[in-house]
Amino acid sequence: MDKRAIPLLAVLCLLPLAATVVAVVCAPESVPLHVSGTTIDRWGPKTEFFAIGGIVTATCLLFSLMFAKMETLNRMGLVHGTGTRGGRITTVCCMALVDAVLIGYLIWAILTALPA
């Protein structure tokens, strides 16, 4: 594994927790937690953001493990259509996408919960 990638992986793994902490500090007590179509059908305490942030962090940790073991995954035939390098690039892009979706949700939830 390329040791130069460790700082990037660390940032992508810690970003969801940092964003969640900031969101909990900034959000009002009650925030939207579930949307069905265009209707918010569940509101709850802002501390439930930690469950969402924890799931995203665990997902990023799994992606980091995949990044580290990409050669092994490639030898096992589990990396299709690309080599080790392409698999690593895809993994980092997936981590960034998952982080972006979480941050977008947190921003939307806070803005929606603020009084007009």
Give residue-wise pLDDT tens across range 50-80: 999 999 999 999 999 999 999 999 999 888 8
- Predicted structure pTM score: 0.89
Q: In the chain, what are the domain boundaries?
A: 3-113
Quick: pLDDT tens for 11-53.
999 999 999 999 999 999 999 999 998 899 999 999 999 999 9
Burial class (CB in 10 A: 0-12, 13-18, 19+), 113: middle
- Euclidean distance between the first and final Cα of the chain, in Å? 50
